[in-house]
């Protein structure tokens, strides 16, 4: 076995109703086979069905507190953005690898800058196909969940219209409109169509609409997305799913509060883009514990960590995607790993008190330095 290079720590997630974990026992095995050490906080994997014993059998050391994890680890691997108490434990020369979503979160950004840590965001790492490989697994999960939670939101007991998504013989199904035909939108369409709904996808890329037409054999309607077509769809939709993304930036606001009056009373909105600020003016982040609220008779579901509801599936899917990057960062050190991989370098958001991702700097009106220049700091 080669010389130990890095001490990697995985704390228990503390955001409300967050049951995912940054490392699975199988990931721990891979990391240790590459010559590193892994520290896991006690019960970190419990919410995803992974016991401390499984981590110990994989070779990890179990520590009793997050404070121990943060104080001893060179790289911190998480799922959600660090909460305030966690951010205070970050330090210079420490690498943080997790979802950050900084653009709509000035408080977190300020704390990360103040800590002088190096932070690589899952959601801005890219790939050769122009995709976001560490965001895609959770986008798939959130997209497939959206019609499920939308169907629940439409139930009368929850304030909805009292409509069954798929209808029954003699009764028409719900009309589902999905704004955005990317990973989230495509997966939402798959499940909504499977549940028997009448599905329309609004999309700006004509090439992508052709692909969707092929994927769904013409069973999903596609409409070019603009202000006019969006307004027209609001009138007829029972369920509206926001599935738009600008990588690393605040989500565009596509539906204003005044437009809600054109929707059917009791219609439902599911804003999957809420992690990036939401794409509806009336969106505000909610939790799995208290997921919905009413604005002008329209029921909003805006849970900020939707994949956390199916924590085991989400944890394994995310771990499959992050594993190669974790090994690269550990084996080579973050600087060399980023020098050799421009896609990983695109994930660099913060380093030594500087913003290194342009969309974040622009969203928060902060100074930007290029990630390339950060490599020499």
Rg (CA), the chain: 21
Active site residues: 101, 275
- How many whole angstroms separate alpha carbon 238 and alpha carbon 164? 10
Query: What's the burial of 287, exposed, middle or buried (CB within 10 Å: 0-12/13-18/19+)?
Result: middle
Residues ≥6 apart with Cβ < 8 Å to 153 = 159, 160, 239, 268, 270, 292, 299, 301
- How many whole angstroms separate alpha carbon 65 and alpha carbon 42? 7
Residues ≥6 apart with Cβ < 8 Å to 51 = 45
Number of Cβ within a 10 Å radius of residue 288: 16
Strand partners, 98: 121
């Amino acid at each position: 076995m080669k010389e130990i290079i890095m001490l990697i720590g995985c704390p228990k997630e503390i955001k409300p109703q967050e049951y995912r974990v940054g490392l699975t026992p199988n990931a721990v095995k891979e990391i240790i086979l590459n010559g590193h050490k892994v520290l896991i906080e006690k019960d970190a994997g419990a919410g995803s069905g992974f016991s401390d014993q499984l981590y110990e059998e994989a070779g990890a050391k179990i520590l009793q507190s997050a404070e121990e994890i943060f104080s001893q680890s060179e790289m911190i691997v998480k799922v959600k953005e660090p909460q305030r108490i966690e951010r205070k434990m970050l330090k210079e020369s420490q690498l943080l690898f997790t979802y950050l979503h900084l653009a709509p979160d000035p408080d977190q950004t300020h704390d990360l800058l103040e800590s002088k840590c190096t932070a690589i965001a899952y959601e801005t790492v890219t790939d050769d196909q122009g995709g976001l490989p560490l965001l895609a697994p959770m986008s798939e999960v959130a997209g497939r969940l959206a019609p499920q939670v939308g169907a629940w939101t439409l139930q009368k007991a929850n304030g909805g219209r009292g409509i069954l998504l798929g209808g029954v013989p003699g009764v028409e199904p719900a009309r589902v409109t999905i704004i955005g035909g990317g990973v989230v939108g495509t997966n939402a369409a798959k499940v909504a169509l499977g549940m028997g709904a009448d599905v329309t996808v609004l999309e700006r890329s004509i090439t992508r609409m052709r692909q969707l037409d092929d994927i769904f054999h013409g069973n999903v309607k596609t409409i070019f997305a603009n202000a006019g077509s969006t307004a027209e769809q609001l009138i007829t939709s029972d369920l509206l799913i926001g599935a738009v993304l600008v990588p690393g930036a605040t989500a565009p606001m596509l539906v204003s509060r005044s437009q809600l009056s054109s929707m059917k009373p009791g219609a439902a909105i599911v804003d999957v883009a809420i992690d990036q600020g939401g794409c509806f003016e009336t969106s505000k982040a909610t939790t799995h514990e208290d997921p919905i609220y009413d604005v002008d008779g329209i029921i909003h579901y805006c849970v900020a960590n939707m994949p956390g509801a199916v924590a085991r599936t989400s944890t394994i899917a995310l771990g499959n995607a992050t594993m190669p990057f974790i090994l690269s960062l550990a084996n080579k050190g973050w600087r060399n790993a980023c020098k050799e991989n421009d896609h990983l370098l695109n994930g660099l958001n913060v380093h030594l008190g500087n913003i290194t991702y342009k969309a974040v700097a622009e969203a928060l009106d902060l100074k930007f330095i290029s990630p390339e220049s950060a490599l020499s700091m």
